[in-house]
């Protein structure tokens, strides 16, 4: 059950990060994957750095959002560079 909650939370964070970056309101696969990856890495790192451990605290939630935004921004930059090379 915990795994399902983590997956749904990561997808939600990815969708909110997509909204914050102005990428539209309809969630796509890119934002969902970025939300999962960013939530895992950003949330974990922020929680550990702030000393909260692995408990669910606001620092981890904020880190999850920040991680998802960073992953989406990097993904967009890579997509742009790849599309420029094709033309």
Give dist(CA 66, CA 81) in Å, integer: 23
Rounded to whole angstroms, the Cα distance separating 81 from 77 reads 6
Chain segment 23-82, per-residue pLDDT in tens = 878 878 888 888 888 877 877 777 778 776 666 777 677 888 888 898 889 988 988 888
pLDDT of 9 above 80: yes
Domain spans in the chain, listed from the N-terminal domain onward:
37-87
Q: Which residue shows structure tokens 């408990």?
A: 55
Tokens of 74: 């990097």
The model's confidence at residue 3, banded by pLDDT at 50, 70 and 90, is: confident
């Amino acid at each position: 059950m915990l795994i399902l909650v983590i997956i749904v939370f990561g997808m939600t964070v990815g969708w909110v990060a997509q909204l914050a970056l102005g990428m539209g309101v309809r969630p796509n696969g890119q934002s969902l994957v970025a939300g999962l990856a960013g939530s895992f890495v950003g949330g974990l790192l922020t929680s550990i750095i702030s000393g909260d451990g692995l408990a669910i605290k606001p620092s981890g939630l904020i880190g999850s959002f920040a991680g998802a935004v960073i992953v989406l921004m990097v993904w967009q930059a890579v997509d742009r560079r790849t599309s420029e090379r094709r033309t």
